[in-house]
Amino acid sequence: MRYAPHPWNTEFTWQPVGEVETITAEQARQYDELGFFVVDNVFGADEMARLDEELAAGDARMKQHLSDLPGGRVFVTGMDTQIVAPHAVTRSTYVREFAAHPFFAGVARDLLGPNVRLYWDQSVYKQPNGAEPVLWHQDNGYTFVDPQSYLTCWVAITDATPENGCVAVMPGVHRNGTIAHRTTPIGQECWGDWGDAVEVPVRAGSAVVFTSLTPHATRRNITNQVRKAYILQYAPDGAVALHGDPASGPPAKVELLGDDERRYWVVRDGVRVEPV
């Protein structure tokens, strides 16, 4: 696919990171220049085991849903590729509190400012001997959010390796804003080049932190074990989602990403907020 700006990306200027408290100056530099950084060993084995346990019900529910469908697939999620189960924060108190952990709140405050909400959460359990990869995409290519740069924290519940489908990124592309995407049977796709990509293997309990504008992909899981990850996304308060067909013109609908059961405050006036 060719490299081109998204039709709704008409005015974009990358805003550099200011003063930080939770991440390091080097991590802030990497975020500015490369669009991502890694924080190793944020969580211990017991925390990851408990998170996996709490996410299991959503994973099982999605598997049941897929098994009832012809081909066992809905867009990016499929029985033979990866099981994507969203919104565990609406089903588990533990997960709800995990998503507002001081680590995530601190990173979000450093990178997004003093007022931040949880935007999205989903488990992604990449199936053994998978049939399909996850294509190159920006998170902002699925639903166009303004401001365009929000925050993704990709938490490895199990070790993520090149063999089982760790994240790979296109460094530096984020500075141009959202690029054009197309819809395929297995998800949205944008330009990407595996020849220039950086694979990011991480150990369980570590986090890959990147902007919603960083193109990323994962290869097929060619191992015999499930690769498990939990993805948390945060957006500044006041962010809006644009809905419609970008190829047809301006957005048909603008949705304020406001207060509800799952898009709750994580940081307010610079202070972490306990979820209720």
Each residue's pLDDT tens digit, 163-174: 999 999 999 999
Q: How far apart are CA 183 and CA 54, in angstroms?
A: 32
Q: How far apart are CA 103 and CA 84, in angstroms?
A: 24
Domain spans, the chain: 30-267
How many C-alpha atoms does 135 have within 13 Å on its Cβ side?
A: 18
Q: Mean pLDDT across the stretch 188-195?
A: 97
Q: What is the CA radius of gyration of the chain?
A: 18
Q: Mean pLDDT across the stretch 107-129?
A: 98
pLDDT at 276 over 90: no
Phi-psi region of 177 (alpha: psi -120 to 50; beta: other; left: phi over 0): left
Q: How far apart are CA 123 and CA 273, in angstroms?
A: 23
Q: Per residue, what are the HEC states of 11-74?
A: CCCCCCCCCCCCCCHHHHHHHHHHCEEEECCCCCHHHHHHHHHHHHHHHHHHHHHHHCCHHHEE
Confidence grade of residue 260 (pLDDT, cut at 50, 70, 90): confident
Q: How far apart are CA 121 and CA 238, in angstroms?
A: 18
pLDDT at 180 over 90: yes
Asked if residues 79 and 68 have their Cβ atoms less than 8 Å apart, the reply is: no
Quote the pLDDT of residue 169. Answer: 98
Asked if residues 13 and 186 have their Cβ atoms less than 8 Å apart, the reply is: no
CATH of 30-267, one of 2.40.50.140, 3.90.226.30, 3.50.50.60, 2.60.120.620: 2.60.120.620
Share of the chain above pLDDT 70, in %: 100
CA distances from 122 to 22, 173, 274 (A): 24, 24, 20
Q: Mean pLDDT across the stretch 249-264?
A: 93
